């Protein structure tokens, strides 16, 4: 099976909601996004959809980066041969360093039936490369402490744990501890140092034993 990683297009947006809606309860808890899926429709759903949609148009994104940088997202999707969205990643700009360059927050997820086949690794590499090309010097993310697989996954890709249980996340009436992890994108990493990787990448699914 061949998959393609490419930038999200405006027309992908509802397929992305469908993909998120199809995730297991556990993956939704791990992602706990209040702005994807049709059961989250509300003010923040509309705001984020507008930001995702406008950011998906390169020329608009360029102007937004100058005028409203904190609304800018760099979004990638991983798509199967049939054109189905298997996973997505967002790097949302969060601030600008005085020394120049940006920091942003990464969120990503794959369909449950596509975990642990190496696809997440390709997607995180592509997201980091794309962010780098947009002068994002540091990327942070938060993961639930109980999501030990994802903590290991991001650790494998150079993210360092900064705080544990910094914030408590409330999701569907329960509270969870969060772990914050940071990546300095200026440090070379042979796992994803590959120019032009972000735009289009064709990868073969790892054969299951």
Ligand X SMILES: CC(C)(COP(=O)(O)OP(=O)(O)OC[C@H]1O[C@@H](n2cnc3c(N)ncnc32)[C@H](O)[C@@H]1OP(=O)(O)O)[C@@H](O)C(=O)NCCC(=O)NCCS
Residues that bind ligand X (CB under 6 A): 27, 30-31, 107-110, 115-121, 141, 143, 147, 149-150, 152-153, 156
Least Å distance, CB 176 to ligand X, is 12
Query: Tokens 């735009």, residue?
Result: 199
185 closest CA partner among 164, 152, 157 = 157
Identify which of residues 17 and 64 has a Cβ nearer to ligand X in the complex: 17
Q: What is the DSSP string of 12-49?
A: GHHHHHHHHHTS-HHHHHHH--SSSSGGG-SHHHHHHH
CB of 66 to ligand X, least distance (A): 28
Cβ at position 85, least distance to ligand X in Å: 13
Q: Specify the residue, 152 or 207, whose C-beta has the smaller distance to ligand X.
A: 152
Token code pair at residue 14: 């509802």
Q: What is the CA radius of gyration of the chain?
A: 16
Length of the chain as a residue count = 209
**Cβ nearer to ligand X, comparing 65 with 157:** 157
* b/e code 5-28 from CB counts within 10 Å (16+ = b): bebbeeebeebbbebbeebeeebb
Name the minimum Å distance from CB 23 to ligand X. Answer: 7
Q: CB atoms < 10 A from the CB of 53, how many? A: 18
Sign, Cα dihedral of 148, 204, 16, 95: positive
CA dist 139 → 121, 150, 160 (Å): 16, 16, 10
For the bound state, the minimum distance from the C-beta of residue 29 to ligand X, rounded and expressed in Å, comes to: 9
**Residue 63 CB, nearest distance to ligand X (Å)?**
29
Q: State which residue, 62 or 162, has the beta carbon closest to ligand X.
A: 162
Cβ distance to ligand X smaller for residue 54 or 84: 84
- Name which of 63 and 189 has its Cβ closer to ligand X: 189
């Amino acid at each position: 099976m061949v998959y393609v990683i490419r930038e999200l297009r405006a027309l992908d947006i509802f397929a992305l909601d469908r993909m998120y809606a199809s995730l297991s309860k556990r993956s939704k808890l791990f992602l706990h996004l209040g702005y994807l899926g049709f059961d989250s429709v509300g003010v923040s759903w509309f705001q984020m959809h507008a930001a995702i949609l406008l950011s998906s148009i390169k020329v608009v994104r360029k102007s937004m980066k100058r005028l409203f940088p904190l609304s800018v997202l760099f979004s990638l999707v991983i798509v199967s041969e049939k054109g189905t969205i298997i996973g997505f990643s967002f790097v949302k700009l969060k601030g600008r360093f005085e020394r120049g360059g940006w920091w942003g927050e990464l969120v990503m997820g794959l369909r449950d039936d596509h975990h642990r086949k190496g696809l997440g690794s390709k997607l995180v590499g592509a997201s980091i490369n794309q962010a780098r090309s947009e002068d994002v010097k540091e990327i942070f993310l938060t993961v639930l402490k109980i999501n030990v697989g994802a903590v290991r996954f991001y650790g494998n890709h150079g993210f360092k744990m900064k705080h544990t249980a910094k914030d408590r996340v409330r999701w569907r009436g329960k509270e969870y501890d969060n772990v914050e992890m940071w990546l300095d994108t200026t440090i070379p990493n042979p796992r994803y140092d590959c120019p032009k990787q972000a735009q289009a990448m064709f990868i073969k699914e790892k054969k299951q034993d």
